[in-house]
A and B are shown apart, each in its own frame.
Chain A
Amino acid sequence: NAGVTQTPKFRVLKTGQSMTLLCAQDMNHEYMYWYRQDPGMGLRLIHYSVGEGTTAKGEVPDGYNVSRLKKQNFLLGLESAAPSQTSVYFCASGLQSYTFGSGTRLTVV
């Protein structure tokens, strides 16, 4: 019962570098989400997907891209990392009672 798995768990990037965060779920959920969590800001939605091959923008999408080529996977990409993207990133799946991954702590220096 893996649920939602995020990789990597930690990463340090230099400004301008790119990276991809991977989220995998084994619950056959249609809906998947990427959130970022910052102190004092709560969880904010970056992008989401309502099914394989679909993606949509959330509250704070700038600087990020996503892809959902397979139903079980939802990828979050940073093309040119900036210090403002230092955060903890959470992937979730489900329609209402989300199942969250354990998070990726990203630092951009």
Chain B
Amino acid sequence: EDQVTQSPEALRLQEGESSSLNCSYTVSGLRGLFWYRQDPGKGPEFLFTLYSAGEEKEKERLKATLTKKESFLHITAPKPEDSATYLCAVQPIGNQGGKLIFGQGTELSVKP
């Protein structure tokens, strides 16, 4: 069964304290892995797509990496405005209709 597990469930950081969020996945074949950011009371906002092991994508203080079993979202020198819930999702090969399978998310809090 295709599955996505994110850890930790919640992460509290001090401003400037770098860390990583983990997304472990089990799929028969991976078409793509996606990271989204969700602010309270809003819909998820697309961040990155990764397609193959070894691939990396960067945006400001965020860098996403991918292996055959997991993805990491590295946050370098975070600021309070980076506080949000980060969602990971996978799209299996042969998945009809573009459906994504989401993890439960990691709630990140960055204190000044």
Select which of B43, B91, B102 is within 8 A of A96 by beta carbon: B91
User: In the complex the two chains form, what is the Cα distance from A9 to B80 in whole Å?
Assistant: 27
Are B104 and A41 closer than 8 Å at their CB atoms?
yes
Minimum distance in angstroms from A46 CB to a CB of chain B: 11
Q: Interface 1/0s, chain A 33-51, versus B by CB < 8 A?
A: 1010000111111001110
Residues from chain A with a CB closer than 8 A to the CB of B91 are: 96
Which residues of B line the A interface, CB within 8 A?
A: 32, 34, 36, 41-46, 49, 87, 89, 91, 96-100, 102-105
Quote the shortest CB–CB distance from A8 to chain B (angstroms): 14
- Dominant SS among interface residues on chain B: mixed
Q: Which residue of B lies closest to A33 (CB)?
A: B99
Contacts A/B (CB < 8 Å), 19 sampled: A41-B104, A42-B102, A43-B87, A45-B100, A48-B97, A48-B98, A49-B97, A50-B98, A92-B43, A96-B91, A96-B98, A97-B46, A97-B49, A98-B44, A99-B46, A100-B36, A100-B45, A101-B43, A103-B43
Work out how many contacts link A and B, with CB atoms closer than 8 A: 61
Note all chain A residues with C-beta closer than 8 A to B43.
4, 90, 92, 100-103
Task: Check A95 for interface membership: any CB of B closer than 8 A.
Answer: yes
Q: Which A28-73 residues have C-beta < 8 A from chain B? A: 31, 33, 35, 40-45, 48-50, 56, 58
Report, as a range, how many residues of chain A touch the other chain.
20 to 34
Q: Nearest chain-B residue to A3 (Cβ)?
A: B43
**Residue of A with least CB distance to B104:** A42
Interface residues in A64-109 by Cβ distance below 8 A to B read 90, 92, 94-103
Shortest Cβ distance from residue A73 to the other chain B in the assembled complex, whole angstroms:
17
Given A33-B98, A40-B104, A97-B46, 8 extra CB contacts under 8 A: A33-B99, A42-B102, A48-B99, A96-B91, A98-B44, A99-B46, A100-B45, A102-B41
A90–B98 Cα gap in the complex (Å)? 16
